[in-house]
Homo-oligomer: A and B are copies of this chain.
Amino acid sequence: MGVKDPKGIGIVEPQYFTFAQAPHEMPLESGRKLGPITLAYETYGELNAKKNNAILVLHALSGDAHAAGYHPDDDKAGWWDILIGPGKAFDTAKYFVICSNVIGGCKGSTGPASVNPQTGKPYALDFPMITIADMVNAQKQLIEHLGIKKLLCVSGGSMGGMQALQWVALYPDMVLCAIPIATALKHSPQQIAFDEVGRQALMADPDWQGGRYYDTGRQPDRGLAVARMLGHITYMSDQSMEAKFSRNLKDENYSFSFQADFEVEGYLRYRGGAFVKRFDANSYLYITKALDYFDLSEGKLFALGKPVATRFLVLAFRSDWLYPPYQSKEMVHQLKAHHVDVTYCEIESTYGHDAFLIEAEGQTQLIKHFLSETLKR
């Protein structure tokens, strides 16, 4: 147990699993192959003897494997610490919780900043385009490596929810229940458009250098910061921005200049600037493209033709305008039409898309109950 949170997860260690060594590279949806592949992951709680208490949680665009507890130098707990821990929604006293990073990322897993074994240099744009299905296929190797034949649950918010849906689409027999949160079966043109503006801002930065900025001493910090600033607007709601910033000024009066006059401007600049220190620009490009390519609509969730016995709890948030509740309702409609056991809950929250990272109580009640009901079956 860590000192920072005596009742929580405590100190955790990042773990790594490497596979798909040549000549056994993993085939990708694009037709290309990738290997070797390293996946960063963390686990919380204990796998039981029957190996039937494992829950896989999956992260969003800029997330990582560090979902709960503290790394030794952390000031802040992992990104879903509100839901993972003893007595929490994903109760680590009962369940073995695994959080896997995605391929294409920059948080310990193989991505565009990794060394290309064929050249000895970072892949950069020679990294193959990856999809949500490719991320899930890599995670399946990890789950098998951990000796788990069937997951009790797969869950995540935003892109994490897409991975949960993709798990069911590809491996329905391996998933007893799924909890996709604040997500969609496909990106709408508006969602694609926001991603594309972020990518264009990033690629317009001359320090991007066609993606070959590693080891040049320059990287597209300004472009990536703009993309992230835009992201933050879409993660919050009109209401939550009003509550947090209103039209508060940084100084007493208007500056009548182009410096940041309003607190919201200062906040966005700060968040943009902080992000570039922890995220690789090319990973941002690859992962947003994977989001845009994702499409399990129109029955594609059931394309394997296998019956889907996975139970679903679908959660959405009233004020989420990036992944609006109507998209979750479309998902529920699809699932119902294919006779899947699905429960839908729309949680009253003013936090917008960020709500899945913030709303502890509403999510906890629903998830706890759903998991224990699933175990009774």
Which A residues lie at the B interface, using CB under 8 A? 30-32, 125, 128-129, 186-190, 192-194, 196-197, 199-201, 203-206, 222-223, 225-226, 229-230, 232-233, 236, 238, 241-242, 244-247, 254, 256-258, 260-265, 268-269, 272, 285, 289, 292-293, 295, 321, 324
Contacts and interface: CB of A to CB of B under 8 A. Distances in A.
Given A188-B241, A247-B189, A30 B197 contact: no
Contact of A268 (B197, B222, B229, B245): B197
B200 A233 contact: no
A293 B229 contact: no
18 contacts: A125-B258, A186-B247, A187-B247, A188-B242, A189-B262, A189-B264, A190-B233, A190-B241, A190-B242, A192-B262, A194-B233, A200-B222, A201-B201, A201-B204, A204-B226, A261-B292, A261-B293, A321-B321
Contacts of A263: 189
B197 A257 contact: no
Residue in A129, A196, A236, A247 with the greatest tally of chain B CB atoms within 10 Å: A196
A369 B129 CA distance: 57
The quantity of this chain's copies bound in the complex is: 2
Contacts of A200: 222, 225-226, 229, 268-269, 272
B192 A265 contact: yes
A187 B194 CA distance: 21
Nearest to A205: B204
Given A201-B201, A222-B204, A269-B200, A192 B128 contact: no
Contacts of A186: 247
Given A204-B205, A247-B186, A258-B199, A193 B265 contact: yes
Nearest to A28: B256
B205 A241 contact: no
Given A128-B256, A292-B261, A293-B254, A204 B189 contact: no
A23 B186 CA distance: 62
B193 A241 contact: yes
A223 B247 contact: no
Given A262-B192, A269-B200, A129 B256 contact: yes
A233 B265 contact: no
Contacts of A236: 190
B285 A193 contact: no
A263 to B, nearest CB: 8
A32 B257 CA distance: 12
Q: Which of A190, A246, A324 has the most CB atoms of chain B within a 10 A radius of its CB? A: A190
Given A188-B242, A192-B265, A194-B233, 6 more contacts: A189-B245, A189-B246, A189-B262, A193-B233, A200-B226, A261-B293
Contacts of A189: 241-242, 244-247, 262-264
Contact of A262 (B204, B242, B265, B292): B292
